[in-house]
Amino acid sequence: PHLSTFHGDFQTCKVQGAWPLVKNKFLLVQVTNDPVTGESSATATSKLTVVIKKNQDCAIEPYLMYQAQTDALPGAFHDGHTHYGPHKAVELLEIEEGKHVEIHIRYIATTIVVRQIGRYFTFAIKMPEEIVNSTKGDSNSGLCDRGCPAHERINYQEYLATRHKKIDNLKEDSAIKVQMPRSDAEGICREAKVVDFYFDSCVFDLMTTGDKNFTLAALSALQDIIKLDPSIVNSQLNRTDFRKYDKTFGN
Amino acid sequence: CDIDTCAKQFQRLQSVENGVMGPDKECITLRTYWNCIKKKVRDCKGDLNYLTVRTGVKNRMGQNNCSKNGRTLGPEDEKTSVPTIPSVCSYHGKKVYKHCGLFGD
């Protein structure tokens, strides 16, 4: 999947299996990434678990769990509650049944957004910098803080720059096959109005899987992050081409 | 229309939470059942068994004064004033935020 970290890094990773995304004294978010069906070796998130740790004063005991799996995005926590504590200190909102939920943890001013698009999940979180920084450098803190391990990363810029020229020669390359030509993918992603890293991700996903659900996933991910932090719009470059990558990796 | 999975989930929850959850237990398990049933509406439209189960659960929730949004209503509810939010349940740190996202393949 594609990861935008708390520290502004953008990565495309393999991370197959179970990985922690966020891990601190208040919260644990873990995802499971499975191979995408079909011929592609790509993986995507098929299971997501949020564990809100004990907080006696705000009515969570001994912990509170939310779990979503493909085709089961519940509108409640595991015990059937949708909110806990005084003035809904913790609240789960079902925005669209089976497709979109939000979890608000008010005593740590944190919002989590989970969507199911196609068979896979998108995840977004907004958390105070103080809490994020409390685990900085901790080797167990999760992908959102540390990014993906180096050996799990895919150089998506190189992939985007080089694969589109080699479509005819890729049959023997079983690692990452191209399911859609880059030019077609670019057209679809431009039309979807995704930009910058989300444009890269959109084109990458179409090229690797051919599944247009990932276009919507990239668009939703961008919209969610803008909703969580509207100021992000100011830092957008609105880039929808790969000239920079072609120049760097084209040869 | 696979309504049986909801019934099984309900029974499992009843057995697991037996004696653990206190007075809200019945409502919590019923609410979980109700949420599961709600999700089947598209597949079960017009299914008689589905409608029967849904009505049954709705009636039981009504009998137990269970709300559908996660709060058990009681006679004291109207009398109680709005509680003050405990200080520990509000965030007092700096309102500077970080963001993280995971999506796609």
- What whole-number distance in Å separates Cα of residue A80 and Cα of residue A83? 9
Residue of A nearest to B28 (CA): A80
- What whole-number distance in Å separates Cα of residue B101 and Cα of residue A2? 8
Using a CB–CB cut-off of 8 Å, the residues of B that contact A are: 13, 17, 21, 27-32, 35, 38-39, 69-71, 83-86, 88-91, 93-105
- What whole-number distance in Å separates Cα of residue A107 and Cα of residue A117? 30
Subunit contact A83:B97, Cβ cutoff 8 A:
no
Q: Which residue has the higher pLDDT, A179 or A29?
A: A29
pLDDT computed for residue B86 by the predictor: 60
Query: Around Cβ B4, how many Cβ atoms within 10 Å?
Result: 10
Question: Could you tell me whether strands A17-23 and A120-128 are parallel, antiparallel, or unpaired per DSSP bridges?
Answer: unpaired
Query: Around Cβ A103, how many Cβ atoms within 10 Å?
Result: 21
pLDDT in tens, A214-228: 999 999 999 999 999
pLDDT computed for residue B30 by the predictor: 85
pLDDT computed for residue A176 by the predictor: 58
Residues in chain A with CB shorter than 8 Å from the CB of B17 are 79
How would residue B15 be classed by pLDDT, with cut points 50, 70 and 90?
low
Subunit contact B102:A122, Cβ cutoff 8 A:
yes
Residues in chain A with CB shorter than 8 Å from the CB of B103 are 1-2, 45, 122-123, 201, 217-218, 220-221
Residue of B nearest to A94 (CA): B69
A53, two tokens = 């740790």
Residue of B nearest to A78 (CA): B32
pLDDT computed for residue B90 by the predictor: 86
pLDDT in tens, B21-61: 455 667 778 888 888 888 888 888 888 888 888 888 888 88
pLDDT in tens, B68-78: 776 544 455 44
pLDDT in tens, A90-137: 999 999 999 999 999 999 999 999 999 999 999 999 999 999 999 877
Subunit contact B97:A228, Cβ cutoff 8 A:
yes
Subunit contact B99:A6, Cβ cutoff 8 A:
yes
pLDDT over 70, % of chain A? 92
Subunit contact A80:B95, Cβ cutoff 8 A:
no
Distance from CA of A12 to the nearest CA of B (A): 8
Of the candidates A94, A61, A95, A96, which has an alpha carbon nearest to the alpha carbon of residue A79? A61
The ipTM value here is 0.93
pLDDT in tens, A44-74: 999 999 999 988 888 777 889 999 999 999 9
Size of interface A-B (CB pairs under 8 A): 163
Mean confidence (pLDDT) of chain B: 76
A197 in contact with chain B, both atoms CB, cutoff 8 A: no
pLDDT computed for residue A60 by the predictor: 74
Subunit contact A122:B70, Cβ cutoff 8 A:
no
How would residue B84 be classed by pLDDT, with cut points 50, 70 and 90?
low
